Structure 1
Amino acid sequence: MKEQIKKHFSRYVEFSDVEIDEIYSKLTQKTFDKKDYLLKEGQICKSNYFLLSGLIRSFYIDNKGNEKITQFALENWWVTNMESYIKNVPSYSSIQAIEKTTALIIDKVELEKLFNSIPKLERFFRIITENMLIAIQRRNDIYLQMKSKDRYDDLIQHFPVFAQRVPQYMIASYLEITPQYLSELRKK
């Protein structure tokens, strides 16, 4: 696991073995079973999660009682509820395991301490956050303006693993289309 972390961190910023050891010492490993929550709506998010294995979704329940999936994350991705984490307020959404998931967890307080002792770690998380914001902006500005079929084709082209691992009704929710229409698209 330490090698997986080192390889992941080195994609963005170079860290020494001593720095990786210090970072790793602050991480806690936890396995979540399918349907376990990493965070429930109304809780305050106090951690960042690095997925070693598995698959999760972030979602909220709209005023009609429908689940709205806003994000998926899989191996080697970081996930948190940014607003709750930064502002220390209750989360408006939930984070749930779609399949058995193992994550390394870093507490916000410990991460802040690491930022002081290893300043380039803050740069690493800035880059990760920028990439996340780009993905959100892409989804909001471009993706949701596409026709339903084009959104589905784009998802399958860029993230084919999701088509195999994520239940179709969840893909439909993420794409903001009905499961019936998604079934029609898949047949074509």
Structure 2
Amino acid sequence: MKEQVKTYLNRYVLFSDSEIDEIYSKLSYKTVPKKDFILREGQVCKKKYFILNGLLRSFYIDSKGNEKITQFALENWWVTDMESFINQTPALSSIQALEKTEVLIIDKIDLENLYVSIPKLERLFRIITENMLIAIQRRNNVYLQMKSKDRYFDLIKQLPNFIQRVPQYMIASYLEITPEYLSELRKTS
């Protein structure tokens, strides 16, 4: 686990072994069973989660009672409800495990203290946040303007093994298409 974290962190910013040790000392490990929640809508998010192994989804319930999936999170990704985490307000979305998932958890207070003791950690999370914002912007400005068929094939191209790990109706929700249309697309691919 520690080596996985070190490799991940050093992809963006180089940390000394003692800095890695200090960061790692603030992380706690948890196994999240399939279908369990790490955050429910309405709770205040006080943690960030680093996925060691497994798969999570973020979603909200729209005014018609439908689940709207906004994000899938895979190995070596951080996940949180950013607005709730930053502002310490009730979350507008939920985060749920789609398979047994192993995560490392950092508490908001511990992260803030690490920013002071290891300033380049704040740079690391700035880079991660920028990459996340680029992905969101890409999804909103480009991805959702694509034809449904092109969104599906782009998803397969970007994350080829992902499709087998997620129920079809969830992929349809994420792509904002009907499960029936997704079924037709899968038959033609």
Q: TM tier, shorter chain? A: over 0.9
Aligned AA (1:173): S
Match of 1:41? 41
Deviations, residues 90-118 of structure 1 (Å, cap 9, x unaligned): 00100000000000000000000000000
Match of 2:119 in 1: 119
Q: What 5-or-longer segments of structure 2 have no aligned partner? A: none
1:155 pairs with 2:124: no
Amino acid at match of 1:74: L
Identity of aligned residues (%): 75
> Quick one: which amino acid aligns to residue 11 of structure 1?
R
1:9 match:
9
Looking at structure 1, the residues matched to 140 and 44 of structure 2 have their Cα atoms a distance apart, in angstroms, of 25
CA RMSD in angstroms comes to 0.4
Q: CA deviation at 1:164?
A: 1.2
- Partners in 2 of 1:29 and 1:58 — Cα distance? 20
Query: By how many angstroms is 1:35 displaced?
Result: 0.4
Please report the TM-score for the alignment, with normalisation by the length of structure 2: 0.99
Q: Deviations over 1:43-70 (max 9, x none)?
A: 0000000000000000000000000000
* Whole-Å separation in 1 of the counterparts to 2:76 and 2:39: 19
CA separation in 2, counterparts of 1:134 and 1:18? 31
Structure 2 equivalent of residue 64 of structure 1? 64
Length, aligned pairs only: 188
Residue 52 of structure 1 aligns with an amino acid whose one-letter code is L
* Alignment map for 1:3-152 (pairs within 5 Å): 3-152=3-152
Q: Amino acid of the residue matched to residue 134 of structure 2? A: I
Cα distance in 1 between the residues matched to 2:63 and 2:21: 46
Q: Does 1:176 align with 2:173?
A: no
Q: What is the alpha-carbon distance in structure 1 between the residues aligned to residue 185 and residue 165 of structure 2?
A: 18
What is the DSSP-based 3-state SS (H/G/I as helix, E as strand, rest coil) of the residue aligned with 1:70?
strand
Consecutive unaligned residues of structure 1, counting only runs of 5 or more, are: none
Deviation >2 Å, runs of 4+: none
SS at match of 1:160: coil
Q: Distance in 2 between matches of 1:76 and 1:163?
A: 18
